[in-house]
Structure formats: structure tokens, C-alpha cells
Amino acid sequence: MKKFSEFMKEAVERYYSSNREKIGAGGDFFTAPELDPAFGRAVAEFIEPLLREFEQPAVVELGAGKGLMAYDILSYFRERGLEPTYYIYEFSPYLIEKQRETLRDFENVMWVSELPQIEGLVVSNEFFDSLPVHVVWKNRELFISDSGEEVWEEVGDERLLEFIELMGYQELDIKIEVCLECIEFLEKIAQALVRGYHLLIDYGYTSEEMGNFPEGTVVSYSKHRLDKDIFEDVGQKDITAHVNFSALIEFGRRFGLETVIFQNQRDFLTSVPGFLSELELISAGEKPEDIERLSRLKTMLISMGDRFRVLLQRKV
Ligand SMILES: C[S@@+](CC[C@H](N)C(=O)[O-])C[C@H]1O[C@@H](n2cnc3c(N)ncnc32)[C@H](O)[C@@H]1O
């Protein structure tokens, strides 16, 4: 028997270390950097002034997929004479290979297995949703038996109860997902930042919105379809959970990360002048590729626009 969080951790690791195509048309899901370079360029335009606060800025990207967002950010920076060291923290050998290929023209990229100490920015898109969650319901934690049955046992890990109390979730009669690894990772980010920023983009909820998910948010994706049977074909599909942004904001404060911006992806993208001009340009275009691009930008703004949130924290 194992904790659900252990099951999820193993399943996600097996999935990402396999050699199957994961992200994009031939894979299981799309991410915004896969849809259009305008996303990575918008991120670059947004972070450029933040990096310019530092003499020798560096960027750390967590979970870089095929390296497309890194490519778009670094290309944008190169056009503006900015060449920060760009570290990638990634655990999938398959994706590291893809990233090396995508980023072969950039000499300022390095892969790391520990977060380096930097002045600059830590950034991620759809990284935190891959981290495993514990599931707690009425002071019991979800375990999975060897035959795949759900078993609820008295919570043994004090940190789960502390989390629930700190977040004020004691009275909630719903399945509460607790991502201890997200909190641990956030602490590592705070420690890695000598000075600088943390920018996180992902789908998620706040404490006020948790009631919308009484059964929790864990799902799997396979061949672009949502698949709720996470126990079938383990390692063959991506398993994710929504990110609890209220927890990241609250724990961030404890670790010295002050929230600067928390907004949805639509408001974030439309606050970037370069993204808006590109949108206008494409909207005026009549070529088939303009129409296709317009539909992809609309996906970022409309269907992803509300579900995805952007959190910017600053180390104080
Ligand atoms: C959903 S993909 C997002 C990829 C990319 N950021 C994008 O937007 O296309 C999750 C990424 O995080 C990486 N990842 C997931 N869990 C990780 C972990 N525990 N340590 C390091 N990388 C991890 C995966 O290998 C993958 O690159």
C-alpha cells in the first residue's frame, strides 16, 4: 500500500522519463508555449525590466518541456542585447535531449539538477501542477492498496494537519489536496534567490474556489483527452493536479517571497504591449496562417485565459 502522493510521484516520473512524444500535436497535451511563440515573447517582454534591475542577471526555468518558451525568451533577449545565464531545471532525460536540440544556438544555457544561487528570476509554466499531492478527507489520508483500491487511513504526517489548519480548511467536507512538494519547492526557490523574482504560470484555484472541486482536481491527459481514470495505463499518461495559489501566496510570505502580481493569464497577456500589437497585426491578416495563429492566441486568452493564473513574487 502507498500514499496517493507516492503513487502520483512515481506515475509522473515514469511518464516523463519515457521516450514517447508528450507535448504538442503528436503528444498528449498542448501548453501555451507550444501554441504560439507570442506567449514566450510576452513572458520575455514582461521579465526584461525585472532582469535589468541586476548587474549580472540569471534566469532559472523549471520543467522546460521541449524548450520552446526558453527559445522564445532567449531570442527576444538576444534581439535586445540581453544575454543572462539561463539555467534549466528538468528531470526528464527525454525532454533534456529535446531542449538541447531546440536551444543549440544559445551558448548561455545550462542544465542543473539543483537550483543555483542567482540574482534574477525563477520562472515556470505548467511545472507545479506536475508535483504530487496528498489527498486528505475528514482527517484521513488517501492510500492506494496493491490491488489499486482506495484506502483512507488516519493522517500520520503532522505537516498535512498543520497545512490544513494554517489554510483554515478544518471545516471543509471535501477532498483536500495538499501539495507538500510545492511548498518545499517554493522554499528552495526562496533560498536560491539572493535577490529577485519568482514567476509562476499554471492552472489552479484559490481557497475561495476550492468548493468548486469537492472530489479534488487530479486528472490525467492522454492524446489530448481528459481521462479521469488515473489508475489505468500508469506511466502512459500525464497526471496533474490544480495548483493551490492561496497556499503558494501564504507560504511564499513565510519564506520571504512577497506577492507582486496575481492575475489570470488573459489579464497578464493583455497587459504586455508587444502581445497586444501582435494580436492586432494577426487579427488584420487574411492569410490562412494568420487565421490559425489568431485561433491559437484566442485559446490562450479565452479557454486558458481564466483557468491559468500568473503569480509574481519578489524576494524581500
Ligand atoms: C506539463 S510539462 C510543461 C513543459 C513546459 N514548461 C511547457 O510549458 O511546455 C511539465 C514539465 O516539468 C517537468 N517536470 C515535472 N516534474 C518535475 C520534477 N519533479 N523535477 C523536474 N522537472 C519536472 C517535465 O519533465 C516537463 O518538462
And the C-alpha cell for 50? Answer: 525585472
The pLDDT value recorded for residue 164 is: 97
The pLDDT value recorded for residue 26 is: 77
Q: Is residue 110 part of a domain?
A: yes
Q: Is residue 137 part of a domain?
A: no
CA distance 2 to 190: 30
The pLDDT value recorded for residue 266 is: 97
What average pLDDT score do residues 233-261 get? Answer: 94
Q: Number of structural domains, the chain?
A: 1
Helix (H, G, I), strand (E, B) or coil at 1: coil
Integer CA distances (angstroms), 54 to 51, 71, 119, in order: 6, 22, 7
Nearest CA to ligand 1 atom 7: 65
Rounded to the nearest angstrom, the distance between the alpha carbon of 173 and the centre of ligand 1 is 32
In this structure, of 20-24, 32-36, 178-182, 255-259, the range with the lowest mean pLDDT score is 20-24
CATH number for the domain spanning 41: value is: 3.40.50.12710
Tally of CA atoms within 13 A in the half-sphere of 205 that contains its CB: 16
Q: Is 60 a pocket residue for ligand 1 (Cβ < 6 Å)?
A: no
CA distance from start to end of the chain: 42
145-151, Cβ contacts within 8 angstroms, sequence gap of 24 or more: 145/1, 146/1, 148/231, 151/1
> How many CB atoms neighbour CB 117 within 10 A?
10
Rounded to the nearest angstrom, the distance between the alpha carbon of 274 and the centre of ligand 1 is 27
* Dihedral sign (CA 166, 172, 178, 182): negative
The pLDDT value recorded for residue 174 is: 96
Read out DSSP for 72-87? Answer: HHHHHHHHTT---EEE
CA distance 226 to 122: 29
The pLDDT value recorded for residue 147 is: 87
The phi and psi torsions of 238 (rounded to 5 degrees) equal -80, 135
Q: Is residue 157 part of a domain?
A: no
Mutate to test the pocket of ligand 1, among 6, 9, 91 (most ligand atoms within 8 A of CB): 91
CA distance 47 to 314: 12
**Residue 224 contacts residue 25 (beta carbons within 8 Å):** no
Q: Is 182 a pocket residue for ligand 1 (Cβ < 6 Å)?
A: no
**Tens digits of per-residue pLDDT, 275-294?**
999 999 999 998 999 999 99
Q: Is residue 201 part of a domain?
A: yes
pLDDT-derived band at 18, boundaries 50, 70, 90: confident
| Order of all β-strands in the sheet with 219-222 | 225-227, 219-222, 238-240
∠ CA(273), CA(274), CA(276), 5° rounding? 65
Q: Is 16 a pocket residue for ligand 1 (Cβ < 6 Å)?
A: yes
Rounded to the nearest angstrom, the distance between the alpha carbon of 255 and the centre of ligand 1 is 23
Read out DSSP for 165-184? Answer: HHTT-TT--S-EEE-HHHHH
pLDDT over threshold 90, residue 29: no
Q: Is residue 10 part of a domain?
A: no
**Tens digits of per-residue pLDDT, 121-148?**
999 999 999 999 999 999 999 999 988 8
Q: Is residue 194 part of a domain?
A: yes
**Tens digits of per-residue pLDDT, 206-222?**
999 999 999 999 998 77
**Whole-number mean pLDDT of the chain?**
94
Q: Is residue 136 part of a domain?
A: no
Q: Is residue 70 part of a domain?
A: yes
pLDDT-derived band at 161, boundaries 50, 70, 90: very high
The pLDDT value recorded for residue 100 is: 98
Answer left, alpha or beta for residue 181, where phi above 0 means left and psi between -120 and 50 means alpha.
alpha
Q: Is 220 a pocket residue for ligand 1 (Cβ < 6 Å)?
A: no
pLDDT over threshold 90, residue 21: no
**Tens digits of per-residue pLDDT, 50-81?**
999 999 999 999 999 999 999 999 999 999 99
Give the structural domain span for 42: 23-131+179-225+237-315
Nearest CA to ligand 1 atom 4: 65
**Tens digits of per-residue pLDDT, 191-210?**
999 999 999 999 999 999 99
What average pLDDT score do residues 225-239 get? Answer: 80
And the C-alpha cell for 39? Answer: 506567449
